Structure 1
Amino acid sequence: MRRAIAAAASTGALIVVLLAVKPHHSAEPIAVPPSTGTVPAPTQTVSPGTGTSAARTYTGTPADTKYGPVQVSATVKAGKLTDIKVLHMPSEDSRSREISAGAVPKLTKEALTAHSAHIQSVSGASYTSQGYMQSLQSALDQAHG
């Protein structure tokens, strides 16, 4: 009976330890530029070229979130979203930087695949995701406006 109790207690302790350990990710986190507190106004940059096939870059309006502003710029060529650059992400503390570093690649990949700001939020990064989509939609509105 004592061995059964000891085995159950040690198994329970092992489960608690395993649940408390955070998983390690093999991918290196991306660097998110720290917010300077000032966010540039939306702008449009025209890349070299002529006609409607030239790539144009549009800066989205900053989206204020609970953890800081989110702002992206979008490059559009021939009506398709071809590149997204992150200008500002929440970065006031290490947790915000960690969340942004994990969410940005996923959001960017999905937006470039969809050629749209209508994408799924990243689990655990709801505020960052919503700010990203809002700023990206602002940039795309300029492109189609």
Structure 2
Amino acid sequence: MRRVAVTTLSTATGVVLLLSLKPHQSHPPVVSARPSGATPAPTATGTRTGDFTGDVIDTRYGPVQVSVTLAAGRLTAVHVLQVPSESGRDQEIAARAVPRLTQEALGAQNAQIDAVSGASYTSEGYIQSLQSALDKGGA
């Protein structure tokens, strides 16, 4: 009987400790502006090089907009221009989702990426804005 009590108490303590852990806090996404006066230039292969700004996508929680940098048709950078940021929760979601979405986009070299769980609206807006930027760049 004593073993059962000790085991139950140990398990309950472990569960409480696990539930009290706080997730790692990341910094809000860096918002970078597109350099002014930069004119995209076509390359010899017909693909374009330069910065291309995607459409502003209005989501349930606020606008999402990205710009992309293309070099000879390859996606080399994604810059977040707008994400929902009205509340602390919006900022927390964006800080978690945007780096993952950016990493996936750079890996995939297109907008056919998975949404981040718990950030469905931000992910959908990001993907749509990314696709429009890539379309403008001819990628």
What is the TM-score with the length of structure 2 in the denominator? 0.78
Is contact 2:28–2:94 with CA below 8 Å preserved after alignment?
A: no
* Code of the aligned partner of 1:17: V
CA deviation string 1:38-95 (max 9, x = no partner): xxxxxx9425xx5426632111111122221111011112111111100011111111
Once the two structures are overlaid, the 10-residue window that deviates more, 53-62 or 84-93, is: 53-62
Which of 29, 40, 57 in structure 2 is aligned with 1:32?
Answer: 29
Is contact 1:74–1:85 with CA below 8 Å preserved after alignment?
A: yes
SS at match of 1:46: coil
Counterpart residue number, 2:88: 94
Counterpart residue number, 1:13: 12
Structure 1 residue 121 and structure 2 residue 120: aligned?
A: no
Is contact 1:33–1:89 with CA below 8 Å preserved after alignment?
A: no
* Code of the aligned partner of 1:92: E
Q: Which runs of 5+ in 2 are unaligned?
A: 32-36
Identical positions, percent: 49
What is the TM-score with the length of structure 1 in the denominator? 0.75
Return the structure number with greater relative CO, CA threshold 8 A, min gap 6.
2
Question: Aligned partners of 2:23 and 2:132: how far apart in 1?
Answer: 35
Is contact 1:32–1:100 with CA below 8 Å preserved after alignment?
A: yes
CA deviation string 1:101-138 (max 9, x = no partner): 11111111111121101111122222211111011001
Q: Which runs of 5+ in 1 are unaligned?
A: 35-43
Once the two structures are overlaid, the 10-residue window that deviates more, 100-109 or 14-23, is: 14-23
Calculate the aligned-residue CA RMSD, in Å. Answer: 2.6
Question: Aligned partners of 1:129 and 1:77: how far apart in 2?
Answer: 24
